[in-house]
Homo-oligomer: A and B are copies of this chain.
Amino acid sequence: MATVKLLSDDELSPEARAIFDDIRKTRQSEFVNNFWRALAHDPKTLGRTWESLKQVMAPGVLEPKVKEMLYVAVSIAHGCTYCIHSHTAGARAKGMTDQEYAEMVAIVGMAAETNRLVTALGVPVDDVFLIDSARGGGQDL
């Protein structure tokens, strides 16, 4: 039930094909998932999104599986079924255990509950949670 046709490999424009080549090379896999096949109608957004994702999800200071779990957590809060499935699979592929998954899901649920309790009650932010602009960034809270 898509609003655009998913493009098969032989329907790609040359620009989209070049990006698919990079996706395959980067992931070292022939498989290109539906998200990119839907975006492929617009090579500009396809390319920008792929480059941004590569930058954001590249090896950094957070573990790859933690990065995927943060991605899943946001996708749950936004109600994106596709993203939940693809990034939960991604987190598992990067080593997330069943126990880690269970802890993550519990945190997402708990955060949702306290988020709404706080919003209901209109709780003002405690001074201690504010950064002290004189100290520069709040890193030492």
Contact = CB atoms under 8 A, between A and B. Distances in A.
A19 interface: no
Contact of A77 (B1, B78, B85, B106): B78
Interface string A57-88: 10011100011011111111111111111111
A5 B113 contact: no
A84 B111 CA distance: 10
A56 B98 CA distance: 15
Interface of A, secondary structure class, is: helix
A103 interface: yes
29 contacts: A1-B85, A3-B120, A4-B138, A5-B131, A6-B133, A33-B128, A35-B114, A49-B114, A56-B103, A71-B111, A72-B120, A74-B74, A74-B115, A75-B111, A78-B112, A78-B116, A78-B119, A79-B80, A79-B119, A82-B125, A83-B114, A85-B130, A89-B128, A92-B140, A98-B139, A105-B120, A109-B113, A111-B116, A112-B113
